[in-house]
Amino acid sequence: KEEAEKKAIEVLKVIGIARAEEIMKSYPHELSGGMRQRIMIAMAIAADPSLIIADEPTTALDVTIQAQILQLLRSLRERRGVSLILISHDLAVICENCDYVYVMYCGQIVEEADVRTFFQSPKHPYTQALIQASPDPEKKIDQLMAIKGTVPSIENIPEGCRFAERCPHKTERCTKVEPKLYEQNDGTKVKCFLFEEGR
């Protein structure tokens, strides 16, 4: 028990908790959201993993705490050589913290790209719509673009491309045949007939 407590205090100090001994005796409801998030990260790294999967690690945190949590994850990646899979709907978080991006729609990967190519040249119609629907602090607009329609129910997956009913480029083929991931010259992969070989 003493050894485990010592290790826990060490890990809390690694993630930047100054009063580790005191925090060890606290109940979750006595801690802030940011502090609870740090504790979760401490729990994740306690066993010295080679991979951390962080699913929406900054949800419901204010902007300052979000930045601290993301900085902590980056420093763990750099100092400990830990690989990180970051699951997020926040494109700004992806842009600043990832090397490679997988875009998913309705349970499937629809685009794969390195982060620079992803933002400079989005290919899949869903990816393009996502980026257009994200606010740009440098542009003043009255209304954000919305992606029309709704995501299909996972219990009632449509035939063909899962994005077809919402896609501005759909053809009859899209509603009947599921496209595969087509590899492009720049190394990206896109699950769309628009990027089929020879097109």
Other beta carbons within 10 angstroms of residue 73's beta carbon come to: 21
Write out pLDDT tens, residues 134-157. 876 666 666 677 888 899 988 889
* Residues ≥6 apart with Cβ < 8 Å to 139: none
pTM score: 0.82
Lowest model confidence (mean pLDDT) among 63-72, 78-87, 186-195 = 63-72
Average pLDDT over residues 181-187: 93
Question: Is residue 131 helix, strand or coil?
Answer: helix
pLDDT band, residue 106 (cuts 50/70/90): very high
The whole-number pLDDT of residue 168 equals 93
* Count of beta carbons in the 10 Å neighbourhood of residue 112: 20
